[in-house]
């Protein structure tokens, strides 16, 4: 992804029972011409990762094997250009949510 335009602090939280892999995809080029994907591998159970996300439309896809079963979860969200508060991207076995304090 190109280093243009502001990013927005986002705390990724693994709220599943296993180690997750996460792919975040900027689905439509934003006003700075950015598009593409960011991947995170091996985020442990109850671990967090801080990142900065450019503004735009995002699709999240997470997958893991908890030892008992494997799962996939998804979610879509929009990062606003003028967002001031830190947001949280919470990965759960049923879905991925993006909101403050999830």
Q: Which residue has the tokens 């927005």?
A: 8
DSSP one-letter string for 36-100: EEEEEEEE-TT-EEEEEEESEEEEEEEEEE-SS-EEEEEEEEEE-TT--S-EEEEE-SS-EEEET
Q: Please report the pLDDT score of residue 4 as a whole number.
A: 63
Domains of the chain (ranges plus CATH)?
Answer: 8-99 (2.60.40.180)
pLDDT digit string (tens) for 10-35?
999 999 989 999 999 999 998 888 88
Region 69-87: what's the mean pLDDT?
Answer: 85
**What confidence category does residue 1 fall into, taking pLDDT thresholds of 50, 70 and 90?**
very low
pLDDT digit string (tens) for 41-70?
999 999 999 999 998 999 999 999 777 788
């Amino acid at each position: 992804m190109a280093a243009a335009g502001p990013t927005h602090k986002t705390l990724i939280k693994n709220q599943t029972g296993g180690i997750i892999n996460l792919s975040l995809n900027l689905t439509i080029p934003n006003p700075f011409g950015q598009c593409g994907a960011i991947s995170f591998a091996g985020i442990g159970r109850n671990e967090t990762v801080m990142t900065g996300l450019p503004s735009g439309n995002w699709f999240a896809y997470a997958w893991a094997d908890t030892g008992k079963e494997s799962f996939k979860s998804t979610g879509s969200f929009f990062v606003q250009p003028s967002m001031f508060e830190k947001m949280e991207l919470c990965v759960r076995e049923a879905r991925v949510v993006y909101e403050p304090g999830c």
